[in-house]
Amino acid sequence: MWDAMTASEYQQLVEFLGRRFETIDRRFDAIDGQFAVFGRRFDGLDQRFDAFEQRVEARFQEVFGHFDELYRRLERLEQEYYAVTQALRRIEALLADEVGRREILERGLEELKRQVASLQARINAVEERLRQ
């Protein structure tokens, strides 16, 4: 089936395989160079993404700071609103008391006016009798 290989055939096979392996080595070298290029590009992209991520993180921190300030102000406004509404309720209660007191005073004043009018009428009557 297989015959023995002669030295010349063996030499030709070695030269043929040597050329083929050299071609394959060159291809691997070229591919290795491409991998190196891609590796550098990926390293560059990785650096760009890291820088971008840092910028985005810084912006988020800035935005979070603004939100914290807004929440602080909103909390203060809520406290002030609560204080104002409580003060308004106290004022309304005082006004209701004052209205009641004023009504009592007005009734008392009307009674005093009637009594003064009655006294004036009596004084006028006494003066009239004294003149006669």
Instruction: Render pLDDT for 9-35 as a digit per residue (tens, 0 to 9).
Output: 999 999 999 999 999 999 999 999 999
Query: Which segments within the chain are labelled E, that is strand?
Result: none
Q: What pTM did the predictor assign? A: 0.47
Please give the span between the terminal C-alpha atoms of the chain, in angstroms, as a whole number.
179
The answer to whether residue 115 is domain-embedded is no
User: What's the whole-number average pLDDT of the chain?
Assistant: 93
Total of domains in the chain? 1
Provide the domain limits for residue 17: 7-103
Q: Residue 96 falls within a domain, yes or no?
A: yes
Residue 132 domain-assigned (yes or no): no
Q: How many CB atoms lie under 10 A from the CB of residue 50?
A: 10
Residue 86 lies in a domain: yes
46-84, pLDDT tens digit by residue? 999 999 999 999 999 999 999 999 999 999 999 999 999
Half-sphere exposure in the Cβ direction for 132 (13 Å, CA) = 6
Task: Identify whether 129 is part of a domain.
Answer: no
